[in-house]
Amino acid sequence: MSMRMPDTSSPFERALAAFDRNALDDAIALFTQAAESGDRPALALSKRGVCKVRRGDRGGAAHDFADALDRDPKCVPALVNLGNLALEANMLAEARTRYEAAIRIDADSATAHHNLGVVLRREGNVADSVRELRLAAVLEARPRKLVERWKALWRRRL
């Protein structure tokens, strides 16, 4: 007789696992549950927005990213994601503003630096673009970032 152990992971952790499996409907439901229960609500709303982007619902995603910022004005992933939507729409000034805001909050955000580099390149500012892209590469390669990423992956697998 096999006894099934109760699932002790949080809704946010279960949502990340569903997201990793590309089970977007499950992930959206679990990120919603996480946000409503106070389990990393701003991050949950931001990730729910990413799920919606993957489903082609950019309007719904933008709403989720804005809601994440309402919950936590310092939610770097939500700022970066709003910047990404602006970049996709070729709204370079808006994208740049979002990425720069994210960097002011977290100067170590490799994604914000990388995407700012993309904006700068599109604006024709090659020197600053290269600087941002190099900085992003350095930040991404930092051992601390790698250790954190591996820890996060390990927790998701448990």
Opening angle at CA 85, ends 121 and 32, nearest 5: 145
Average pLDDT rounded to a whole number, residues 126-142: 92
Look at residue 7 in the predicted model and tell me its pLDDT.
54
pLDDT beyond 80 at 124? yes
Q: How confident is the model at residue 146 (pLDDT cuts 50, 70, 90)?
A: low
pTM: 0.83
The domains of the chain, with CATH numbers, are 11-73 (1.25.40.10), 91-158 (1.25.40.10)
Average pLDDT over residues 121-135: 96
The pLDDT tens digits for 24-42 are 999 999 999 999 999 999 9
To the nearest whole number, what is the mean pLDDT of the chain? 90
The one-letter code for the residue type at 91 is M
96-113 pLDDT, tens digit each: 999 999 999 999 999 999
* CA atoms 149, 114, 79, 46: torsion sign: negative
